[in-house]
Chain A
């Protein structure tokens, strides 16, 4: 977390508690999140524009799963994580940084690991089916923000949330 060692943190109103996401290409993996005790997200199918895969990796146990949003199991799971899971892990590391992803998964990144796929390959991961519906509905909710109307009256509470990160 940013600034957490700063002695004044506890008495400041305006601190960026969560570092902003780093920019990344969204075409392949439009949605990644660290939530519900999982690294989870949605990967667009390379062949069918209407189809998406829902992939997840559980913190601690490192159980993984991948299926279409209609719960059809991913054909790429053959005893090891599929390419969708590798893509999900790669994009998570781009968005959050390796440290934050490894910490959330309770995984030891170890030396020489720079990408999410490398981190994934180091884990003692095992397959365990989980329903896609929860993650997929979170993705739809995520997308629904883009359809929400804008505002042209001030939202005073946003003064607690300054934009930051110039020149990153």
Chain B
């Protein structure tokens, strides 16, 4: 990424973005206070949302829902319309921001190809989830107490037990854990209103019987080629973790490289943290080895949907070592990206790989920023995972970075996945995935050994106590 590209990215917002986000903030405030009795300010904000969608196919549905909500009669259909309207607005914000990014970087992007959704019948699991989300919206974040949090137990358990609702279960479990730690929410100095409304709205959409989020296996593409991993992004809450590897795929059939990603994950518990996370992913040895040894991978007949490769470790073979920095320098500018599924469009989903070189790191707004030709790009230091060696100190000593461009709260951020840094007068490459096959830093390994193998201890307890 060049200084001129960063300038193009950060000078000015897409048209009407600020207005859209203000409308969203109004909805978030209404959800904070609850929809049981909608006050004047919240009614005005909700009417604003309906107004913004007046020229869309959702217009009548949303206008009617908001009328009814403001009049005090809230049905599940009205809440679905509200969640849909808020998501549509943020989806449009996502598209505008990604458009700005693609224009700045000169990145080409294939459109999403629509596949027929399988018919979905009514699901009792989803009905339980909808009922809880309904209760939450009516109560408002400020009214959330021990009882309402405890009531999440049944829908979470039901969703976890049904493999097809895994996405919803993981979202709900993460939201419920946050609420549990924050009750009584009314005493919090500030509520994470945007975040919780994001999770609520996505939950409502995923809990609709027609959501059909995962296309059946026979409509996805199949890919063959060489995958060059660029870096790995790690996601985690108390009971779930996922790594998402961003890479370049050189198709076996030729053509320009594709910007792709692949995610694998596992269920976990809160006491499994740090490098122990990797031990949950031992079903994917080829992928982990490729990360730890910085190797390419030859993949055969891998199912894919847009940019997402659905990983099968037995269809992958380790290839030659690859320098991700060199691969990015040569191939990233001409790589073809792909759009994401319509339902997933949200600014928080933007995670676009970039290579930055020749910047200076300096303190900026209480954090770090990479300064490229006098333009600062804030570094998302709170997205550096504890399972890897990439720390804020290493980032501060770096001069080249492979990272993800992200967007949150009105600004672009750089999430480092790997850096080239001066550490003790030696130039070293440090990647978040360096410890995928075990900790290579003696000091950290010693601390790890001291706390013992959390995964093994809990599996032993599970083996002894669960099947009595």
Contacts and interface: CB of A to CB of B under 8 A. Distances in A.
A160 B174 contact: yes
A166 B384 contact: yes
Q: Size band of the B side of the interface?
A: 35 or more
19 contacts: A8-B409, A10-B192, A11-B25, A12-B409, A14-B348, A21-B270, A140-B465, A147-B462, A150-B267, A154-B263, A155-B265, A158-B242, A158-B265, A159-B348, A160-B199, A162-B234, A162-B385, A163-B387, A166-B389
Contacts of B462: 143-144, 146-147
Interface of B: 21, 25, 28, 146, 150, 157, 160, 163, 166-167, 170-171, 174, 177-178, 180-182, 188-195, 198-199, 202, 206, 214, 233-242, 244, 261-271, 273-274, 276-277, 280-281, 283-284, 308, 310-312, 340-341, 344, 346-349, 351, 380, 382-393, 406, 408-410, 415, 447-448, 450-452, 454-455, 457-459, 461-462, 464-466
B163 A149 contact: yes
Contacts of A158: 170, 235-237, 240, 242, 265
A113 interface: no
Contacts of B466: 140, 143-144, 147
A24 interface: yes
A155 B195 contact: no
Contacts of B408: 12-14
Contacts of B283: 150
Contacts of B28: 10
Given A10-B192, A24-B271, A161-B236, A17 B181 contact: yes
A70 B214 CA distance: 44
Nearest to B452: A25
A29 B106 CA distance: 54
Contacts of B273: 20-23, 165
Contact of A145 (B171, B269, B464): B269
Q: 6 closest Cβ contacts across the A-B interface? A: A167-B391, A163-B385, A158-B235, A166-B384, A148-B267, A165-B386
Nearest to B203: A157
A47 interface: no
B176 to A, nearest CB: 11
Given A150-B280, A161-B237, 19 more contacts: A11-B410, A12-B194, A13-B194, A13-B346, A13-B347, A26-B451, A44-B461, A95-B270, A143-B462, A149-B267, A152-B265, A155-B167, A155-B170, A156-B167, A156-B341, A157-B171, A160-B348, A163-B234, A163-B386
A97 interface: no
A20 B263 contact: no
B458 A30 contact: yes
B237 A148 contact: no
Contacts of B390: 166
Interface in A55-87: none
Nearest to B453: A26
Given A13-B408, A155-B167, A26 B235 contact: no
A17 B144 CA distance: 15
Contacts of A111: none
Nearest to B237: A161
A13 B393 CA distance: 25
B193 A1 contact: no
A32 B166 CA distance: 25
A35 interface: yes
A117 B380 CA distance: 38
Interface string A135-147: 0000111111111
A26 to B, nearest CB: 4
A30 B244 CA distance: 29
A20 B264 contact: no
Given A146-B455, A163-B386, A152 B160 contact: no
Nearest to B447: A23
